[in-house]
Structure 1
């Protein structure tokens, strides 16, 4: 004969008198302690395998960003516009690897680090840029709603440029900037929403509008005379991009890229400079019709990533000074102005 058990009688087990979770409870403190000890005693090479997988996956869009499809939603262009920021996943992976005490995860995280350094590390190497130059160019999208054009113009004077190109000027607004610039930059040419100023040592020909297909003028071409030869100079503001429910909307921007590329394709001048807001980075595949003809000064000689937009927290290098038949001696992003973009500078050497 056996005595009745709790099971035999159907009675429910009672919780411990102190209210603590039962031993078999899923969330008992003992179970948590046991799991922690088990994880702690797991050999390091066996820990963090999931983190290692994520590390490998993080390296793929960096190394093979050209394979990211652009349809639907133009995600390829979106990834390439903000490509350097993919490196932010590395600190997260390293923290997770440290928590797991996993050398496997640490070793796997070296892959995205290696890829990122290979692609962008050169921009932070000492000794980039420097040496003599023949032409200093400043370009700035001043923002149509700029609350203080005079202060913006004064801030650009400190760069001691030979040429200043401004974009996104409302109709007639070039006169507001000219009031400040005219004493040092007596030569000015303007078309639509763009304008170019040069010092007395660098006279310009009359500007001609460049049609980038927007229904109003957002680009011009002029010839600038320098002691080492004439330079065909383009001031350009391409169409903007948008991000919404349908994805990264770049159709109008890409159309203006194509129209600008057509103008560059027939350009015969041996020395060419293009300055302006292209609303795209040189990593963006959509800009290749332009970059096939011109090289970006920041990529060639600048230090750092060259982010210019938005001014409050720059995340993308969409403002450029590009060239052909010349060499970049130096390039940099200048300090903030009342605009929502940062100005850019390039020192160019005519070959």
Structure 2
């Protein structure tokens, strides 16, 4: 019994160590991509290793397993806990609700999405918006609820757009990626400096070759740095389908230059958005809202009827005047 427990404990510890290491390894192909994607599930083997090694009376290995478990708790528990706001350091802010929704190559149900957006959001970033999907959203009342927009419908996965309740004062297309992106300056009432909003969609790394995704996600930090510099003291909101989870090292490199992942900041856990078609429970959090000079106070996934993704809805605090900070 002790031998069996020891062997199983060693196997569990090896799996836990692999899961921890996968978060920091460079991603060069599908094996390392998949290892990082499933890491949140594999880490459950760490406490199992503690129990089994203790049953096997392998005390030194038990201590190692406890250390690995503690390290993984330090990594994952903060994702499920939103830190309290320090009232003494809080600045005046305006709440802005942002919804990002991948339309599943235009298959999302337009009336359902318009109802969802109208009831929950102030800014909507959409991806995979076909011309037919754009027409359907307009016919369902999207423009009535969100009178300001910049949209680039295109076949299959290439369409993208931003709808806003607040005026869009400047906008432009961001090229150089496998799929086009959009940027807009939005004038939020009460906020001194206009807010920059990006709707992004990185190439999918699976099942096709991973090369284009690697190129996109390696280039995006430079784009975010340039956008942040251009925004100055204004808030920046980057919403969309990154085709990457927070356990992938290339994704975490996006969080330089003052950016934060809104889901993690708000304690939303894994914020799993894919697959979202209802046939299987969502397993991966690949849709995100990143923020700079702003903070997420809540984030939750929402059903986008007809799409193979769930949407991500984040409530943000945008400071009234960062220039005085």
The TM-score normalised by the length of structure 2 is 0.79
- Give the structure 1 partner of residue 119 of structure 2: 158
Q: Secondary structure at the match of 1:321?
A: strand
- Give the structure 2 partner of residue 219 of structure 1: 181
Rg: which structure is higher? 1
* 1:42-82 C-alpha deviation (Å, 9 max, x unpaired): xx6x66221232233123123333554645x3433332222
Would the aligned equivalents of 1:191 and 1:207 in 2 still touch at CA under 8 Å?
no
- Give the structure 2 partner of residue 58 of structure 1: 15
- Give the structure 1 partner of residue 323 of structure 2: none
- Tell me, yes or no, if structure 1 residue 194 matches structure 2 residue 150: no
Equivalents in 2 of 1:170, 1:260: separation in Å? 24
Tell me which of 222, 232, 237 is aligned to 2:196. Answer: 232
Equivalents in 1 of 2:213, 2:307: separation in Å? 21
- Give the structure 1 partner of residue 145 of structure 2: 184
Change (3 A) 1:257 1:107: closer
Q: Secondary structure at the match of 2:168?
A: coil
Would the aligned equivalents of 2:273 and 2:287 in 1 still touch at CA under 8 Å?
yes
Tell me which of 335, 339, 344 is aligned to 2:303. Answer: 335
Change (3 A) 1:75 1:57: same
Cα distance, 1:300 vs structure 2: 0.8
- Give the structure 2 partner of residue 33 of structure 1: none
Describe how 1:127-138 pairs up with structure 2 within 5 A.
133-138=94-99
* 1:191-234 C-alpha deviation (Å, 9 max, x unpaired): 241111111xx1102431101332xx521011000121201111
Q: Which runs of 5+ in 2 are unaligned?
A: 88-92, 154-158, 320-325
Would the aligned equivalents of 1:219 and 1:234 in 2 still touch at CA under 8 Å?
yes
Change (3 A) 1:89 1:252: same
Cα distance, 1:112 vs structure 2: 4.8
Equivalents in 1 of 2:131, 2:27: separation in Å? 36
Figure out how many residues of one structure are paired with residues of the other and give that number. 296
Equivalents in 1 of 2:20, 2:43: separation in Å? 12
Equivalents in 2 of 1:128, 1:51: separation in Å? 40
Equivalents in 2 of 1:58, 1:290: separation in Å? 27
Would the aligned equivalents of 1:275 and 1:321 in 2 still touch at CA under 8 Å?
yes
Equivalents in 2 of 1:129, 1:149: separation in Å? 37
Would the aligned equivalents of 1:128 and 1:302 in 2 still touch at CA under 8 Å?
no
Equivalents in 1 of 2:284, 2:299: separation in Å? 16
Change (3 A) 1:254 1:129: farther
- Tell me, yes or no, if structure 1 residue 169 matches structure 2 residue 129: yes
Cα distance, 1:92 vs structure 2: 6.5
Describe how 1:313-332 pairs up with structure 2 within 5 A.
313-332=281-300
Cα distance, 1:256 vs structure 2: 2.0
- Give the structure 1 partner of residue 43 of structure 2: 87
- Give the structure 2 partner of residue 290 of structure 1: 254
Query: After the TM superposition, which of the residue ranges 74-83 and 277-286 deviates more from structure 2?
Result: 74-83
**Which fold has the larger relative contact order, with Cα–Cα distance below 8 Å and residues 6 or more apart in sequence?**
2
- Give the structure 2 partner of residue 5 of structure 1: none
Would the aligned equivalents of 1:188 and 1:198 in 2 still touch at CA under 8 Å?
yes
The TM-score normalised by the length of structure 1 is 0.74
Tell me which of 196, 221, 224 is aligned to 1:264. Answer: 224
* 1:245-272 C-alpha deviation (Å, 9 max, x unpaired): xxxx421112222443333232210321
